[in-house]
């Protein structure tokens, strides 16, 4: 076998390995996401929280923090805004009863967090 054939054989072998390596690696690490290897970011919190829940949570945190600072007992249901349940309601947000339900649930969560932070 001549030197030319030996070098040509070695070159073709090296070229084949070089071409196959990235293809194998791409198959192993391609996750299907836009940026391979990284999942897409989660949706922003505001994308799936209703206005009633945002308002209720905000008001609950404020009320809970205030009660804790003034050494009041833990009582989210005793708060006027919780009982009314429709603070900052607008008819564009849908039925008032649905708004109240979401507002009150979020108010309780916010109150608990605000009360804990205020102590």
Contact 30, 81 (CB under 8 A): no
**pLDDT digits over 8-25, tens only?**
566 556 666 555 555 444
E strand spans, the chain = none
Q: Residues 39-42: contacts with CB within 8 Å, 24+ apart?
A: none
Distance, CA of 98 to CA of 111 (rounded, Å): 20
φ, ψ (nearest 5 deg) of residue 70: -90, 10
List all residues 6 or more positions away from 17 whose beta carbon is below 8 Å from its beta carbon. none
* Tokens standing for residue 55: 């308002």
- Give 67-102 pLDDT, tens digit per residue: 999 999 999 999 999 999 999 999 999 999 999 999
Q: Give dist(CA 15, CA 76) in Å, integer.
A: 72
The pLDDT tens digits for 32-79 are 445 544 455 555 555 568 999 999 999 999 999 999 999 999 999 999
Of the pLDDT bands very low, low, confident and very high (cuts 50, 70, 90), residue 29 is very low
């Amino acid at each position: 076998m001549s030197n030319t054939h030996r070098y040509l054989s070695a070159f073709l072998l090296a070229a084949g390995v070089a071409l196959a390596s990235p293809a194998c690696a791409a198959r192993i690490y391609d996750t299907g996401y836009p940026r391979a290897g990284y999942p897409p970011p989660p949706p922003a919190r505001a994308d799936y929280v209703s206005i009633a829940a945002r308002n209720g949570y905000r008001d609950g945190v404020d009320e809970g923090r205030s009660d804790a600072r003034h050494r009041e007992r833990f009582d989210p249901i005793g708060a006027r805004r919780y009982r009314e349940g429709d603070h900052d309601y607008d008819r564009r947000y849908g039925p008032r009863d649905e708004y109240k339900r979401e507002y009150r649930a979020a108010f309780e969560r916010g109150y608990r967090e605000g009360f804990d932070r205020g102590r």
